[in-house]
Each structure stands twice: as structure tokens, then as C-alpha cells.
Structure 1
């Protein structure tokens, strides 16, 4: 049986398929192919270092435009739903309608399939960056952390898998964790005490075959005694390169 569009009356065809009584062109006109659960996003942005909060993580950025890039790549897919008859939906590209700033209009281009016909449509949303201070900048300002585990030049997916397993097995590690900050070439993990940082570092070093190094930095006085902050470095050994 031939299918017709209930809005324009056109007949089903390979270039303009009719699904659930509506043709592709009418879906495009009605804005029904891609559904955004939110048209505005409010995202925390550190006014000191430029890090942006994606989920539970703070990620270093090079500024507003780079922050928008992370938001489009990581948050927009989560709030995107396919419309009726749509499959294989994904972000194709995006552009800034206004200059990247505390308030930015972003036009995201989505592609997908309506039946078996590929389409590409734009959707606009407004990204608001909420000025705040990230945990790292607050910690540096207050000096309330005792140890930093700096992990560099490793496979981030593999690292996250091991971290998830180690933290879920050892609740004391999770209790002593202050924050987890992702950067372009690794992660910094902040702890309230030296012992937790050493424990995690040694386990990761053993599991991933990473070189372990410790350094101390004077961080003021506490109860009349000099306070030393521990920095642990984990990275692939020279032999592994």
C-alpha cells in the first residue's frame, strides 16, 4: 500500500520517505527529527584556571571556545534524543552563532537516518558558563590538600578503568580523595593525606608498569612544625617508549 504524508499529501519515495504518516521534508520543517531535552545549558567554569565541569570531572581548557568544544562533545549527546522514525543520530559538526563567552549561542548539526534516507539538520542551544572556582583552585588558595598524584602520558580509558576498580574496592581511598582533575596529557588526583596517595600510586604503578617518583614541597607550618606536601609522579618509563 502506498503511503502518503498527512501534512503535505506527498507520496512515499526513497528521497522523501513517509514514516508514521509523516514525510522527511515535513519532519524537517516541523523540527521533529532531533529532540533536545534542554535548549539552555548552565555549566560551571573556573574563572581562575579556565577548567570546565563535565559530569563529576573538571577538565582543563584553553578558554571559552575550548570549553564549548568539550560541552558539545560530552554533554550535548546526553541531552539529544531521536525523533519518530529516526536512527543512527550523531553530531556531525557545530558552529558558534555568537562569540564564545559567558553566554554563547551554539548551532549543532546532527545527522542520522529517517528510514533509510540520511539527513542533516541544525539545532541551536544557548550555553551559559557559570563563573566559579574549581576545587583545585580552591585547594591551592586554602592549602587544604596534603598530596597530589600526577599521572602523565597514559591511556586515559585504561587508567579510568583501573581507578574505578581500585576506588570501588577500597572505600578508604575514596574517603581520602579530595578531587580528580583531568588535563590535556593526564590527570591530577588530590588527597587529604600522604598514605592514600602512596597506596593508589603504588597499585597503579604495579598494574600499569609506570615509573614512580616522589617529591616534597614545603607548604607552611602546622602546630609549630613544618608542613610538607607530597607530589607523586607516575608515567611510563623511558624503556617503554
Structure 2
């Protein structure tokens, strides 16, 4: 910890600007990926949801087909009972027994008609389910193809950038250790509050980098003196002079070409 307090303001400014250049490079890499990881994740969820729907539709189809089997079995049982009751009518002792058997036969015939009606309804449901399954299958195939394409795009970008990103994150952590914790926290706070993530910027044409607000000549001289850390009163960004910025950019460009 003692070593951190011994470094000069200029060294702190250089380390902060180097950290900014590294983090900005990581931002660029992530911007190249853009929304692709989220898009792939959404597509994966959509495909998983459609697969679940397909499983449910197929399970429903199985239930309906089993219902048809049950109804067909019921019809066969009714036919057997009708045959049995008809045969029994030949051996009745009185009209009461004959009428009772007739009612049983009539009941079984009604049961058969009802079963046939249900079978017809079930077959219509099967046709409807099969149509929905076919449509879902087509949509699923299209989404799977789209997912495969997007995953391929993402894999390609990751293959190109992942190694560099990991190396840069390590460098970022290394540079953070060179700067006192208070400054690192301030840097991160500013970085999170500005749209483009630029917390440390050079003075460009007499104004804060990326800003239109002019910096008074006296303040510009203080920035060039590198004796204290100066922030832009409008954006809160830490300011460095153009010469220091150029030197550090050249140094960092050499580092970036090594980690690619």
C-alpha cells in the first residue's frame, strides 16, 4: 500500500489514462458483440418453449388415441353383451324377463352410439392437434435454423475477441492495482455516469474531450503541469493534457497489438 502513495500525480494520471484506454478497448469488443448474446439467449428460450409445447401436443394426442381405443373396446363389450342378452331372450320364462333383457339390449345399443359419437369427436380433435403439431414443427424448425445461424455468428465473434478481452481485463486489473483505491472508485463512478464510459479524457482544441465546453487557459496550464488531478466542471471527467494522452495511446496501441 505504501508504494501507491509514493507515485507522482503524473504517474497517477498516466495510469488512469492507460486504464481508460484498456477499458474503452474492452467496451469496443463488447459493442461488436452487441445484442447477439441476448438474442441467442432469447432464441434458446423460444426454442425450449416450443419443444415443451410439442411434447405437450404429442402427449395430448396420445391421450386422445387412448380414449378412442377405450371407446372401441367399449363398443366390442356392448356387442358381446347384446349377443348374450339376445340369446337369453330365447330362454325367458315370462314377458317381464324378456322386457328386462330388451331394455339391456337397448341400453347397450345407446352406449355404442354414444361411443361412436365420441370416437368421431376424438378423431376430429386428432386432426386438429396434428395440424397444430405440423405448424408448430415448421415454426420450430425455422427458429432452430435462426438460432443456429445466430449462434454461429456469436461463436465466430467470440473466437476472434474472447482471448483479447480476457487479456485486457487482466491488464485492467493490473493497472487498477497501480492506482490508489480512492481514485479507482472515483474513476469507476464517473465511468458509470457517462454515456460512452469515458472517465479520463484529453483536452482537445481547448475543450474537454467529447465536450463543447471551453477550458480556461489557466486551467489548461495546470492540466499540462501534471501536478494535480483536475476534473471537468461540466462532466466531472478527469482531464489530461494532449501530449500525455498521445504518449499513452502509442504505448497502449503496442500493448493491444500484443494481446490480439
Fold-level similarity (TM above 0.5): no
Greater strand content = 1
Bin of the TM-score, shorter chain as denominator length: under 0.3
* Structure number with larger C-alpha Rg: 2
Greater helix content = 2
- Give the TM-score normalised by the residue count of structure 1: 0.24
Relative contact order (alpha carbons < 8 A, sep ≥ 6): 1 or 2 greater? Answer: 2
